[in-house]
Amino acid sequence: MKHLSKKDFDDLQKFYRINLINSCTGYKSANLIGSISKEGIENVAVFSSITHLGSNPAMLGYILRPTTVPRNTFKNIKETKLFTVNHIVKDIINDAHHTSAKYPEEISEFDKTNLEQEYKEGCKAPFVKGSPVQLVCKYLNEYNIEENGTILVVASIEELYFDEKLISDSGFLQLDKGDVVTVNGCDGYALPSFLNRFEYQRPKK
């Protein structure tokens, strides 16, 4: 088995290191965050760092890279306190990934891709049409991570929409039934296949 130490990381070519360290931690969630500026300009951007923080109250978080360059999604969220999270499916990975391109804030990624926006009553932020799982989230707080200049953004889940074919009697959303993809590293997309579910585990007697 190949072995690399922290010292070896420093000697790696930049993009090789980025790909290696981004992919070594495993598969990540693949989502599009929809937001809108106070001027009414829509934004949609791919994120692979959205994670569950708790179910009661329902909360999630995502990691924002250093704000040394413009972060339009974050700016919109701070202005409006509202955003949507939309699961990425197999058929839209090309357009979804293109939203990582750095467009000026006055340009909407919806206009540069085939992604379609949709709106639901009571939510000013756009959803991505066709996404089988959609969340409305409200900004709660942010925490600076001093070690690398990133920010943990914490939000509450205010509303949840999902394709009914995904849900089981126990409330479990089986995402492979909706062709929901995952991210491997920075730019690799995979379609997981469901293997099994297990009961709540207790110590063996």
Domain containing 51: what range?
Answer: 27-190
CATH assignment at residue 161: 2.30.110.10
Whether the per-residue pLDDT at 159 is higher than 80: the answer is: yes
Average pLDDT for 19-23: 95
Q: Is residue 161 in a domain?
A: yes
Residue 195 lies in a domain: no
Give the whole-number percent of the chain exceeding pLDDT 70. Answer: 100
Is 35 part of a structural domain of the chain?
A: yes
Q: Is 63 contained in some domain?
A: yes
Residues whose CB falls within 8 Å of the CB of residue 48, separated by 6 or more in sequence, listed in order:
28, 29, 30, 31, 183, 186
Looking at the domain assignment, is residue 156 inside a domain?
Answer: yes
How is 103-121 classified by DSSP, letter by letter? --TTS-GGGTSS--EE--T
Q: Is the pTM of this model over 0.85?
A: yes
- Count of domains observed in the chain: 1
pLDDT at 69: 74
When pLDDT is cut at 50, 70 and 90, the band that residue 205 belongs to is confident
Q: Which amino acid makes up residue 122?
A: G
Predicted confidence band of residue 83 (pLDDT cuts 50, 70, 90): very high
On whether the CB atoms of residues 123 and 58 are closer than 8 A, the answer is no
- The answer to whether position 99 is within a domain reads yes
Cα distances (angstroms) measured from residue 119 to each of 127, 167, 193: 6, 23, 31
Closest CA to 135 of 118, 154, 157, 150: 157
**Domain contains 197:** no
Residue 43 lies in a domain: yes
